[in-house]
Amino acid sequence: MDYKYSSSSIEDTMELAQNIESEKFPNMIICLNGELGSGKTIFVKGFAGALGIEENITSPTFNLIKEYVNGEMPLYHMDMYRFDNKSNPEEIEEYFTKGGVTIIEWPEMIEDILPEERLDIKIKVIDENRRVIILKPYGEKYEKLCDSVL
């Protein structure tokens, strides 16, 4: 079952992320889909802020992975846009079980190694300010999360 959320502003998107963060659990996987500029990094900023991470959150485009370990729980922010298949996918997979939250931008680049249980979030741009955010949970924990947040 898909869940839909309408965002009319950056603040709405950040609020959704904060609400999802309130239901966090170790080894949580969130896959963010959306075109450039749709608000994926805004979502991560909201989530990180709710975790108590005070560092400036930026897209890890050239690093692939940024680790933020000074919050309530570690946050692993991945951007797979520049991931190439020559890289070692085991290095990516190990983050899925490190006890933190992993948020992946451009997850389609590593679709074959994504865990079966995860939360997929697609951000669709309506206009300059408005977005439709579609949450698709895979697994019981993620279904319960969506039920409690939306």
User: What DSSP assignment string belongs to the chain?
Assistant: --EEEEE-SHHHHHHHHHHHHTT--TTEEEEEE--TTSSHHHHHHHHHHHHT--SPP---TTTSEEEE-SSSS-EEEEE-TT--TTS-HHHHHGGGGSSSEEEEESGGGGGGGS-SSEEEEEEEE-SSS-EEEEEEEESHHHHHHHHHH-
**Domain 3-149: assigned CATH number:** 3.40.50.300
Kindly indicate the confidence band of residue 81, based on its pLDDT and cuts at 50, 70 and 90. confident
What is residue 87's predicted lDDT score, i.e. its pLDDT?
63
- Residue ranges covered by each domain of the chain: 3-149
Tokens of 79: 């951007």
Average pLDDT, the chain: 93
The 10s digit of each residue's pLDDT in 92-135 is 999 999 999 999 999 998 999 999 999 999 999 999 999 999 99
What is residue 85's predicted lDDT score, i.e. its pLDDT?
62
b or e along 54-81 (b: 16 or more beta carbons within 10 Å of the residue's beta carbon)?
A: eeebebbeeebbbebeebebbbbbbbbe
Q: What percent of the chain has pLDDT above 70?
A: 97
What is residue 64's predicted lDDT score, i.e. its pLDDT?
85
User: Using an 8 Å Cβ cutoff, are 44 and 103 in contact?
Assistant: yes
The 10s digit of each residue's pLDDT in 3-14 is 999 999 999 999
What is residue 86's predicted lDDT score, i.e. its pLDDT?
57
What is residue 62's predicted lDDT score, i.e. its pLDDT?
72
User: Distance between CA 2 and CA 26 in Å, rounded?
Assistant: 23
* pTM exceeding 0.85: yes
Tokens of 34: 């959306």
User: Using an 8 Å Cβ cutoff, are 137 and 143 in contact?
Assistant: yes
The 10s digit of each residue's pLDDT in 26-79 is 999 999 999 988 999 999 999 999 999 999 998 776 778 999 999 999 999 998
CA dihedral (89, 21, 17, 45) positive or negative = negative
